[in-house]
Amino acid sequence: MITCFDIGGTAIKSARASSPRDIKALDKVPTPLDDFEAFAAAIGRIATEATGNDHSLVAISLAGIIDSDTGRITCANIPCIDGRPLVADLSAILKRPVLIANDADCFALAEAIAGAGRGHRVVFGAILGSGVGGGVIIDGKILSGAGGFAGEWGHGPISATSAGSPPVAIPRFPCGCGQTGCIDVVGSARGLERLHRHLHGADASSTEIIDAWTDGNAKAARTVDCHVDILSDALSLVVNVLGASIVPVGGGLSNSQPLIERIDLGVRSRILRRTNKPLVVRGECRIEPGLIGAGLLGLAEVQS
């Protein structure tokens, strides 16, 4: 039995996992953002209550990247852990083995093992939410690249400078990562809003844009057309490079089934492999995929 956690800038969610089919939610507490001792203590208390003092493994999903060379984490939304050799620090304090993976990787793992990717050898889990991210699963294992990065298709100056039918010019917007023209800046929920503002000079939330589109609004339809065009270009390249046979999608924008279906059609029309089967699909792990992924990661480790 292990304890797994999904940790964000607001809350620490936890579960107890004894098998891939038996992952039970436990406590949810606020995340201590500026006090590492309090952060570690919260994890330790929950783990002890869940499994006792048996020094069983702790598996964590969080929105950060651990450098595979230095072991140090980059995690802007939890300042007290940013820059720390987090696995080593937590292991020493908790006196338990600790595994940590990026939340997008944990989402992808959950989908590959327990969700839409079951039975597929190469799974690319795509996140379309407040940002654009992803994780790569090959033969049931997370692919972790140099520096801890893999599946980060949202970043890199590749966003199209025209999109839609008929084509319209799209600026290369600056990205928070320091580059210009990233998919993250136009493909995320905030990116959809940015695109709508550029095209129509009007502010609307991503939810309002999607709702208006499904209701037949012409301006919203123009925004979605451009959005899907840009995303499909980039995602088709990811599929061609990885050879993924399924792309489960999570994040807020995945709540719109019509949007996912449009992206799927766009991607399948661009990739080298021809298939009539859906490729880009809504993720099936709708409740706590981070916890499920962390649990699966930890269970695989103790069973290996």
- Tokens representing 294 are 């962390």
In this prediction, residue 146 has a pLDDT band, given cuts at 50, 70 and 90, of confident
Q: Does 46 share its domain with 83? A: yes
- CB-CB contact of 65 with 72 (8 Å): no
- Angle 289-303/103-114 helices, nearest 10 degrees? 80
Indicate whether 112 belongs to any domain.
no
Instruction: CATH number of the domain at 271, please.
Output: 3.30.420.40
As a whole number of angstroms, the distance between CA 303 and CA 229 comes to 43
pLDDT tens profile 286-299 = 889 999 999 999 99
Q: Does 252 share its domain with 133? A: yes
- CB-CB contact of 23 with 291 (8 Å): yes
Q: Does 252 share its domain with 152? A: yes
Q: Does 130 share its domain with 249? A: yes
| Section 259-283 average pLDDT | 97
Q: Does 45 share its domain with 145? A: no
Q: Does 42 share its domain with 135? A: no
In this prediction, residue 269 has a pLDDT band, given cuts at 50, 70 and 90, of very high
β-strands 58-62, 98-102 pairing? parallel
Indicate whether 109 belongs to any domain.
no
| Section 249-271 average pLDDT | 98
Indicate whether 299 belongs to any domain.
yes
Indicate whether 113 belongs to any domain.
no
Q: Does 143 share its domain with 238? A: yes
| Section 195-221 average pLDDT | 98
Q: Does 130 share its domain with 278? A: yes
Indicate whether 110 belongs to any domain.
no
Q: Does 123 share its domain with 269? A: yes
Q: Does 220 share its domain with 92? A: no
What does the pLDDT read at residue 303?
Answer: 85
Q: Does 124 share its domain with 249? A: yes
pLDDT tens profile 234-247 = 999 999 999 999 99
Which amino acid is it at 55? Answer: H
Structurally, the chain folds into a number of domains equal to: 2
Tokens 């309090």 locate to 38
What does the pLDDT read at residue 133?
Answer: 95
As a whole number of angstroms, the distance between CA 116 and CA 111 comes to 5
Tokens 């939610």 locate to 25
As a whole number of angstroms, the distance between CA 107 and CA 102 comes to 9
DSSP code of residue 254: G
* Helix (H) and strand (E) counts in the chain: 9, 14
Please count the CA atoms within 13 angstroms of the CA of 57 that sit on its side-chain side: 19
Name the residue range of residue 122's domain: 118-282
Q: Does 291 share its domain with 277? A: no
